[in-house]
Structure 1
Amino acid sequence: MKLAVIGANGQAGQAIVAEAVARGHEVTAIVRSSNQSQAQEVLQKDLFALEAADLAGFDAVVSAFGAFTPETFPQHTTSLEHLTAILAGSGTRLLVVGGAGSLYVDESLTTQLYQTPDFPADYFPLAEAMSKGLAALRNVKDVNWTYISPAADFEVAYPKTGDYILAGEVFTVNEAGESKISYADYAIAMVDEVEAAAHPQARISVLGK
């Protein structure tokens, strides 16, 4: 497949590129600075400067875009608004590296994890911003998107196990009562979804076994 990874220099982006390349896919890194990933092709351009022509011909675009300061938090919404606007009606799929804070803690899908009393206060603004981005994405009907939330404990240093648990909208733990996953195993789940296209216009979540 022909894939583009936006934010390919980030930790999640690099892991996703590495997994996709290892499986034989043709990957273009879309980065603002010099490419640090294993992608075979590079487009050096800011996400918000991308045009429809830049993404034409890709089977799927993966957004591993991140914004981690208060002044950039709104970009979790505006980045998805921009990407869906230029992908609208193209047939190119959009897959988004999401967050765990927007997962629900009840089957009625009423309360999100970041809204619970024990959620770390330091992470609340980021989680709230990412939740707003997902809410905006849910309104998009003319792009085949999939949003993939990682486990609550999402760490680049965790080892690659080659396995994961696929879940849905509700916060899930493994048999040990843990919600954790490595970047490498998350990348496996992401590329699996790229290949299978099994969850159109839906949010899924993944965690380690």
Structure 2
Amino acid sequence: MRIAVICANGKAGKWIVKEAVGRGLDVTAVVRGENTSAAQKVLKKDLFDLTAADLKEFDVVIDAFGAWTEETLPQHSTSLAHLCDVLSGTDTRLLVVGGAGSLYVNPEHTICVADGPDFPDMFKPLAAAMAKALAELRERKDVKWTYISPAGDFQAEGEGTGAYILGGEELTLNAKGESVISYADYAIAMVDEAVKGNNIRKRISVVSE
């Protein structure tokens, strides 16, 4: 299986590359500068400059792009739109590192995590930008996408447990009543989905056991 990890130098990207390489998969890091991930193969190119020819050899493309500043937040939508256009009509699957703010907290799917009174104001613009990108992704019937939301507490330095609980559109809590997952465990879930391909055109979520 040939996998491309876009933004492989990022925190999530590095963990995903490490997990995929550890399983013996054929991994290419897509980076703008020097590769600092565990991937042995490198495609040095900006996400927005990627073409269909660049990605045609891959079975799975994992999008670990992130934008955090006010002026770059719209790139959550524009980057996904570009990747979808590039992969449109192909068998290459697109897996997206998503956000937790858009997970639903009621069975009717009318209230999201980001709508809650305890959701930090500082993260609301990011959550809104990522929710918009997800809504637009849902309209793409021409791409084999999967959007994977982490738990509410997404811990870059968290300890890996090697296990996770797979959820759907709603915020899932573990046996301790927590919504938490480390980047290490999230990477396991991401690579599992890359290998199995069980959730095409779906948003799924993961939480540590």
When normalised by structure 1's length, the TM-score is 0.99
Matched with 1:65 is 65
Q: Does 1:164 align with 2:160?
A: no
Matched with 1:5 is 5
Deviation at 1:131, TM superposition (A): 0.4
Name structure 2 gaps, 5 residues minimum: none
Rounded Cα–Cα distance in structure 1 between residues aligned with 2:82 and 2:94 = 12
RMSD value over aligned CA atoms? 0.6
Which one-letter code corresponds to 1:136 in the other structure? E
SS of match in other structure, 1:131: helix
Which one-letter code corresponds to 1:167 in the other structure? G
Q: How does 1:1-209 map to 2 (within 5 A)?
A: 1-209=1-209
Rounded Cα–Cα distance in structure 2 between residues aligned with 1:175 and 1:90 = 40
SS of match in other structure, 1:3: strand
Name structure 1 gaps, 5 residues minimum: none
Runs of 4+ in structure 1 deviating by more than 4 angstroms, as ranges, are none
Rounded Cα–Cα distance in structure 2 between residues aligned with 1:107 and 1:12 = 30
Rounded Cα–Cα distance in structure 1 between residues aligned with 2:55 and 2:147 = 19
SS of match in other structure, 2:143: coil
Rounded Cα–Cα distance in structure 2 between residues aligned with 1:139 and 1:202 = 11
Identity, in percent, stands at 60
In the comparison of the two structures, how many residue pairs are matched? 209
Deviation at 1:39, TM superposition (A): 0.7
When normalised by structure 2's length, the TM-score is 0.99
